[in-house]
Amino acid sequence: MTTEINPQAAAAAAAPPSNGKRRKALLILLSVVAIAAIAWGLYYMLVLRWHQDTDDAYVQGNVVSITPQTLGTVVSIGADDGMKVSAGQVLVQLDPNDAQVAYDQATANLANTVRQVRGLFSAVDAGQADLSARQVAVQKARADVKRREGLVAGGAVSAEELAHARDELAAAEAALSSSRGSLARNRALVDATTVAKQPQVAAAAAQLRQAYLNLQRAAIVAPVDGYVAKRSVQLGQRVQPGTALMTIVPLEQVWIEANFKETQLADMRIGQPVELHSDLYGSDVTYQGKLVSLGMGTGSAFSLLPAQNASGNWIKIIQRVPVRIEVEPKQLVEHPLRLGLSMHVDVGIRERGGAVLAAAPPAKPLLSTQAYAKQLSEADAVIANIVRDNLPGTHHG
């Protein structure tokens, strides 16, 4: 007897094992998704919520423009693009001949003025002696007149002789008055002063000081340590004051400007720690820094053509605000950055005790240079030597 097998019944008998496997796979998938969701939630609660990051960040720094302070022709160039220079190093030398001539003239003028003022002091002494002599002459003339007045009555002296005596007295008194005026004028030029501080000498010294500075400024020096960039000056070029010759970039002073969305700024505070990565070095190098300031406006607010939103076609766009970040100086020495490089910035916002705005002005200048500090003191030393050399009692063999 042959038994027929129903295909539908066979498929129904095989279905339960297949459905069981599918259900098990779905449960595993749902478990994985649930675990992933829980892990992501925990990661967000413990890590992500305490960080704000952006790739819209770039390296910024000081770009020191080298410009001449005087008119001149370039006769030498001391540095080129990419070279390291030190503060005070001569970068460009202008032709110093015209400045040297002006300096020599100012030197001679100061020496001549010192000697002329010495003459004024001597004139005061001479005027004082002359005044004393005039006073004696007046006293004598008065005595002569008085004596002759007593003799005229007795006929011993004629009236004509008395008249001559009175004329001599008048002349002596006029000479005394003139001597007093001359002495007063000479004293007015030298009273309460010395040769070095007399106004004429001070004016000549100021001219020499300016001539000295112009001579020194023919040598254009680097105000800061750094690296040369954008050299445009050429030999023989006639440059005017303010002409850009080259720039210096102090790479140890760079900072990061990160542009965060306005929705990311609520919990940002000055002093919060920052991790940075540069596209130049990739993930191999992690920079440590800190947030030092939040921008005073969005980028569009300070643009040449600010956005005008008073129109019927207005569409809201999330704005970005620049945030300034300092980088550890030691890391900049080990891994120098270049201006304009792209950076990835991650700000840790867990600590919110800092201020949003700076609380006090800086106690000292943020940047300064001593490259020009000695020029004026050297000029004063030259002036002091010239004055001393032209005073009495100074002899040269």
When pLDDT is cut at 50, 70 and 90, the band that residue 394 belongs to is low
Provide the domain limits for residue 208: 98-216
Domain boundary among 164, 198, 216: 216
**Residue of higher predicted confidence among 159 and 337:** 337
Is it the case that residue 90 has pLDDT exceeding 80? yes
Least confident of 49-63, 174-188, 255-269, 334-348: 174-188
| Average confidence (pLDDT) over 56-77 | 95
Question: Do residues 168 and 185 both lie within one domain?
Answer: yes
- The string of pLDDT tens digits covering residues 123-161 is 776 767 767 777 887 888 787 777 777 776 666 667 777
Do 170 and 223 reside in the same domain of the chain? no
CA 61 to chain centre: 15
Q: Return the exposure string of 56-84: e unless at least 16 CB atoms fall within 10 Å of the residue's CB, then b.
A: ebebbbbebebbbebebebeebbbeeeee
pLDDT, one tens digit per residue, over 230-279 is 999 999 999 999 999 999 999 999 999 999 999 999 999 999 999 999 99
71-75, 241-245, 306-310, 373-377, range with the lowest pLDDT: 306-310
**Does residue 205 fall inside a structural domain?**
yes
pTM above 0.75, yes or no: no
- Regarding whether 142 and 197 lie in a shared domain, the answer is yes
237 and 89 co-located in one domain: yes
Instruction: Reduce the DSSP state of residue 256 to 3 states and report it.
Output: strand
- 101-116 tens-digit pLDDT: 999 999 999 999 998 8
CATH number (domain holding residue 325): 2.40.30.170
Tell whether 305 is covered by a domain.
no
Note the pLDDT tens digit of each residue in 166-212.
788 788 888 878 877 776 776 666 676 778 888 889 999 999 999 99
Q: Where among 216, 232, 267 does a domain terminate?
A: 216
> Does residue 379 sit in helix, strand or coil?
helix
Q: Give how far Cα 106 sits from Cα of 199, 206, 313, Å.
A: 16, 9, 70
Q: What is the DSSP string of 213-252?
A: HHHHTTEEE-SSSEEEE-----TT-EE-TT---EEEE-GG
| 86 plus 135 within the same structural domain | no
Do 126 and 196 lie in one domain? The reply is yes
364: DSSP letter: S
Same domain, 137 and 274: no
Residue 337 has pLDDT above 80, yes or no: yes
Q: Give the pLDDT score at 4.
A: 56
Token digits of residue 307? 């956005």
Residue 265 shares a structural domain with residue 291:
yes
More confident residue, 394 or 197: 197
The answer to whether residue 382 sits within a structural domain is no
Residue 269 forms part of a structural domain: yes
CB under 8 A, 24+ apart: contacts of 308-316? none
Identity at 196, one-letter amino acid code: A
pLDDT at 14 over 60: no
- Nearest-angstrom CA–CA distance, 93 and 68: 10
CA 326/CA 294 separation, integer angstroms: 12
**Same domain for 91 and 177:** no
CATH number of the domain residue 76 falls in: 2.40.50.100
Rounded Cα gap, residues 66 and 371, in angstroms: 13
386 in a domain, yes or no? Answer: no
For residue 22, being part of any structural domain is answered with: no
Burial 201-227 (b: 16+ CB within 10 A, else e): beebbebbbebbbbbbbbebbbbbbbb
51 within some domain? no
Residue of 254, 245, 248, 255 whose CA lies nearest to 225: 248
Q: Within this chain, do residues 166 and 223 fall inside the same structural domain, yes or no?
A: no
**What strands lie across the sheet with 226-229, from one edge to the other?**
64-66, 246-249, 226-229, 84-85
Domain count along the chain: 3
Does 366 score more than 90 pLDDT?
A: no
CA distance 390 to 284: 70
Examine the domain organization and report whether 326 and 262 are in the same domain: yes
The answer to the question of residue 1 being in a domain is no
Question: Picking from 49-53, 94-98, 184-188, 277-281, which range would have the lowest pLDDT averaged per residue?
Answer: 184-188
What is the model's pLDDT at position 113?
A: 92
Q: Is pLDDT of 10 > 60?
A: no
Same domain for 114 and 89?
A: no
Residue 395 has what pLDDT? 45
What confidence score (pLDDT) does residue 109 get?
A: 95
